[in-house]
Amino acid sequence: MPPTTRRMSFPRVVIERDTDSEESSSEEEEEPQNFDHEVEVEVEVEVEEEEVIENEKEAKVLEDVKKKGKAPITISLKKVCKVCKQTGHEAGFKGATYIDCPMKPCYLCKMPGHTTMTCPHRVSMEHGVVPARKRSTRSPLDFVFERQIRTNVPKIKPAFVVPDQVDCAVIRYHSRRVTCLEFHPTNNHILLSGDKKGQLGVWDYDKVHEKTVYSNIHSCILNNMRFSPSNDGTLYAASSDGTISCTDLETGMSSALMNLNPDGWHGPSSWRMLYGMDVNADKSLVLVADNIGYLYMMDMRSHNKTGEEILIHKKGSKVVGLQCNPVQPELLLSCGNDHFARIWDMRKLEAQSSLVDLPHKRVVNAAYFSPRSGSKILTTAQDNRIRIWDSIFGNLESPSREIVHSHDFNRHLTPFRAEWDPKDPSESLAVIGRYISENYNGAALHPIDFIDTSTGQLVAQVMEPNITTISPVNKLHPRDNVMATGSSRSLFIWRTKDDSELVQEKDERKIILCGKSGKKPKGKFDCGSDDDSDNDTFSPKGKKSKSNKSEAKPSSYTLNKFKTKSTKSSK
């Protein structure tokens, strides 16, 4: 299947400023940023000329120094690479295209000797995602064996359905970046979102305006949340404040069930945080793990801790992911900062007793069993590789596939996690946001990638000109062809184009602006009042139009800045 291409036109967008005062709290006064699309102008620097000038300047400096008879002070007037501090090249954005520092290893595959632009993992596919070569550490017998075991995976892969169009959004809904998302297990239009500040958002994206942010549940990062398997109005959340919260979504009442810091703050070295979390319906347990390698279990009925904590990862390292196998709930998968993902048998859980250790080259952000058979494992590591083990019953010595994909660690971003599409019967489609940007007709955009993990092929990359921030948090709906994205502080709901047109009468999107909006509204998502620039087309109208030869795209497509419903905006 060829990669799904970008949409050639974008629908009209209805923007509404949030009127209720439910917006998430935010200390600072906020000002919307500009979003006037300035098309990239390629500045072709005449290097030689510049060098001459610089040399002249340098010579002058040297001359002055000589006159004064003092020891020469080294003043470099040459432009210096901000990455390696050497001259002769410069790293950074040239328009919407990022130029790597050639002295550093490739930002994509991390190998030295080339840059992202010429990375072999990018060249063949134009957009940076290709399969790594399959490792040949397995014998043919392994594959035969594996085929016998994996019986419940369909032989013919159905066509993937990709939600590729933003249907509605809440902009600046959270007061800090979004850290996790969860769809309501039974109510199809409810999206739960957690943020770095510990706030919990509940948004009915069908009735777009129905949204709440709870700000008093946690005091810092909400790392993971799960619904109670026995009561879908109850949500558990694990936070870096060291507590598990249990929230009744009807009443908004919340209680802390576990507190790893009962004595309060005694400095960063003693503060405990909760990261990984899952629920085990069979055993009626909430499983959580902390920042120093321990696993805790809590009974969901009594809300009491059961048993002692168990060291499941290297002491002192974060355990960021926990998941019980969907088919065999006594199988537990964990992953963390010690560069391992591990499989455990919950019937004999103790330190050092893992069934399997899956080594990675860097921190493992996430590890998931496949959603239906539970027999595959998908991990996301900070070495820019997605790894897939095709069968937990087969040879687990090395991953079945490693897919090079840009999802680096950045301390200011929520860690990326590749997640399975729960609706894909073949258990091969996964979604993950992309770190490095693509020059998209002059705008640097960060697509969300859909990857066929059975081949490593990029199935689709979805993006939206108005989302200029990176989208590390993405969740596919368990039943509908819907995807939720958390990008910076905003939430987006994507649908497939056809579905979207069924839902919306016209080709219209509903965008709700939250957060304090300050003075003159102007720019992205915010052309509400007087900023009524009719220039909605986004085309290389630039001055020296020598840019984008390679981007052989239509000369213009409609960007449709998100408009207000108010009378003024539609011309």
Partner DNA sequence: AAAGCATGATTCC
Partner DNA sequence: TGGAATCCCTGCTT
- What φ, ψ does residue 68 adopt, rounded to 5°? -75, -15
Figure out which of the listed residues 16, 30, 309, 536 binds DNA, where binding follows CB under 7 A.
30
Pairwise CA distance, residues 357 & 433, whole Å: 26
Smallest distance, Å, CB 82 to DNA? 6
Q: Is the dihedral of CA 393, 399, 404, 406 positive or negative?
A: positive
Q: Is the dihedral of CA 160, 478, 436, 546 positive or negative?
A: positive
Smallest distance, Å, CB 285 to DNA? 25
323 makes contact with DNA (CB under 7 A) = no
352 makes contact with DNA (CB under 7 A) = no
48 makes contact with DNA (CB under 7 A) = no
Contacts of 205 (CB under 8 A, 6+ apart): 167, 168, 189, 190, 191, 484, 491, 493
195 makes contact with DNA (CB under 7 A) = no
Pairwise CA distance, residues 449 & 342, whole Å: 26
Figure out which of the listed residues 155, 412, 519, 544 binds DNA, where binding follows CB under 7 A.
412
Pairwise CA distance, residues 441 & 211, whole Å: 35
Figure out which of the listed residues 10, 35, 98, 440 binds DNA, where binding follows CB under 7 A.
98
* Residue 307 or 316 having the CB closest to DNA: 316
In the chain, DSSP finds a helix count (H) and a strand count (E) of 4, 38
175 makes contact with DNA (CB under 7 A) = no
142 makes contact with DNA (CB under 7 A) = no
* Residue 306 or 410 having the CB closest to DNA: 410
203 makes contact with DNA (CB under 7 A) = no
Pairwise CA distance, residues 54 & 568, whole Å: 52
80 makes contact with DNA (CB under 7 A) = no
Two tokens at 82? 């901000």
Smallest distance, Å, CB 562 to DNA? 15
From 178, 68, 175, select the one nearest 514 (Cα to Cα). 175
From 287, 279, 295, select the one nearest 354 (Cα to Cα). 295
Figure out which of the listed residues 13, 14, 15, 101 binds DNA, where binding follows CB under 7 A.
101
Smallest distance, Å, CB 437 to DNA? 4
487 makes contact with DNA (CB under 7 A) = yes
266 makes contact with DNA (CB under 7 A) = no
# binding residues, DNA (CB under 7 A)? 44
45 dihedral zone (left: phi>0; alpha: psi -120 to 50; beta):
beta
* Residue 297 or 491 having the CB closest to DNA: 491
* Residue 203 or 227 having the CB closest to DNA: 203
436 makes contact with DNA (CB under 7 A) = yes
Figure out which of the listed residues 157, 189, 362, 568 binds DNA, where binding follows CB under 7 A.
362
Residue 428 DSSP one-character state: -
From 156, 66, 147, 190, select the one nearest 475 (Cα to Cα). 190
Smallest distance, Å, CB 568 to DNA? 25
Question: CA gyration radius for the chain?
Answer: 26
464 makes contact with DNA (CB under 7 A) = no
Figure out which of the listed residues 25, 33, 270, 556 binds DNA, where binding follows CB under 7 A.
33
Figure out which of the listed residues 340, 435, 525, 538 binds DNA, where binding follows CB under 7 A.
435
Binding segment toward DNA, per CB under 7 A, in 22-30, 68-76, 249-257, 449-457 = 22-30
Pairwise CA distance, residues 526 & 563, whole Å: 8
127 makes contact with DNA (CB under 7 A) = no
Q: Residue 406: exposed, middle, or buried by beta-carbon count in 10 A (0-12, 13-18, 19+)?
A: buried
Figure out which of the listed residues 300, 367, 413, 559 binds DNA, where binding follows CB under 7 A.
413
* Residue 38 or 282 having the CB closest to DNA: 38
* Residue 105 or 478 having the CB closest to DNA: 105
Pairwise CA distance, residues 300 & 228, whole Å: 8
Figure out which of the listed residues 121, 211, 218, 318 binds DNA, where binding follows CB under 7 A.
318
Binding segment toward DNA, per CB under 7 A, in 24-32, 252-260, 497-505, 561-569 = 24-32
Smallest distance, Å, CB 242 to DNA? 15
From 227, 243, 244, select the one nearest 235 (Cα to Cα). 227
Figure out which of the listed residues 405, 475, 489, 510 binds DNA, where binding follows CB under 7 A.
489
> In sequence order, what DSSP letters do the residues of 381-397 get, joined into one string?
ETTTEEEEES-TTS--S
Figure out which of the listed residues 191, 460, 470, 559 binds DNA, where binding follows CB under 7 A.
470
Interface mask toward DNA for 224-263; x: CB under 7 A: ----------------------------------------
Contacts of 153 (CB under 8 A, 6+ apart): 372, 373, 375, 425, 426, 427
* Residue 323 or 382 having the CB closest to DNA: 382
409 makes contact with DNA (CB under 7 A) = yes
**DSSP SS3 for 16:** strand
From 248, 274, 239, 243, select the one nearest 259 (Cα to Cα). 243
* CA angle centred on 379, ends 373 and 382, rounded to 5°: 170
Binding residues for DNA restricted to 364-383, rule: CB under 7 A: 382
Please give the residue ranges that form the binding site for DNA (CB under 7 A).
Answer: 28-31, 33, 82-84, 91, 93, 98, 100-101, 104, 107-108, 116, 172, 177, 269, 318, 337, 339, 362-363, 382, 406, 408-413, 435-437, 444, 446, 468-470, 487-489
